[in-house]
């Protein structure tokens, strides 16, 4: 079965998110101070968290494990893969917005910008692919 370019792009973006979510989440879980990842506990001063353990668990599961399953669903052309992709794009954008509200915008490194754009790309490609499929089915 030949995959269209937009599906390959979408799956690639989701796999990138899965890998980074798993790695970042595991880094925060294994070192809740954030020091091993070069992030400061001071960033959490206006948050409900004392350390990065809970954000690490959320990052690992919601933005790491979940995208891995979504990529499999998309590859196998399961309908739930599309719903998962849409949900992932929304979750990633919400994560970045909440993160910016809580810790402020961090430009060095520009991870918030990168992952915000990744979330938008996932949403756009998911939406455009479904619209394209809908209209091609009506012909």
Distance of alpha carbon 22 from alpha carbon 139, whole angstroms: 42
Backbone CA torsion sign across 122, 22, 94, 90: positive
Distance of alpha carbon 135 from alpha carbon 118, whole angstroms: 26
Per-residue confidence (pLDDT) for residue 80, from 0 to 100 = 93
Distance of alpha carbon 88 from alpha carbon 56, whole angstroms: 17
Number of structural domains the chain divides into: 1
Backbone CA torsion sign across 29, 20, 133, 4: negative
The token duo for 110 is 């520009």
What integer is the mean pLDDT of 109-122? 95
Domain residue limits at 71 = 5-138
Let me know: does 56 contact 32? Beta carbons within 8 Å. yes
Distance of alpha carbon 83 from alpha carbon 102, whole angstroms: 28
Mean pLDDT of the chain: 91
**Crossing angle for the helix pair 66-75 and 5-30, to the nearest 10 degrees:** 160
Is the pLDDT higher at 13 or at 4? Answer: 13
pLDDT value at 136 more than 80:
no
Distance of alpha carbon 99 from alpha carbon 128, whole angstroms: 27
Q: Does the model's pTM come out above 0.95?
A: no
Express each pLDDT in 46-86 by its tens digit. Answer: 899 999 999 999 999 999 999 999 999 999 999 899 999 99
Distance of alpha carbon 26 from alpha carbon 59, whole angstroms: 8
Q: How confident is the model at residue 135 (pLDDT cuts 50, 70, 90)?
A: low
């Amino acid at each position: 079965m030949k995959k269209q370019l937009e599906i390959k792009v979408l799956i690639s973006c989701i796999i990138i998110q899965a890998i980074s979510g798993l790695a970042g989440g595991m880094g925060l879980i294994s070192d809740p101070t954030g020091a091993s990842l070069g992030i400061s506990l001071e960033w959490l001063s206006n948050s409900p968290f004392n350390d990065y353990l809970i954000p690490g668990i959320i990052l690992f599961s919601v933005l790491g494990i979940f995208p891995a399953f979504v990529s499999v669903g998309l590859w196998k052309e399961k309908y739930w893969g599309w719903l998962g992709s849409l949900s992932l794009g929304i979750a990633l954008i919400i994560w970045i917005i909440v993160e910016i509200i809580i810790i402020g915008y961090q430009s060095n490194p520009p991870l918030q910008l990168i992952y915000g754009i990744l979330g938008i790309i996932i949403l756009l490609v998911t939406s455009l692919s479904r619209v394209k499929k809908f209209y091609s089915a009506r012909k």
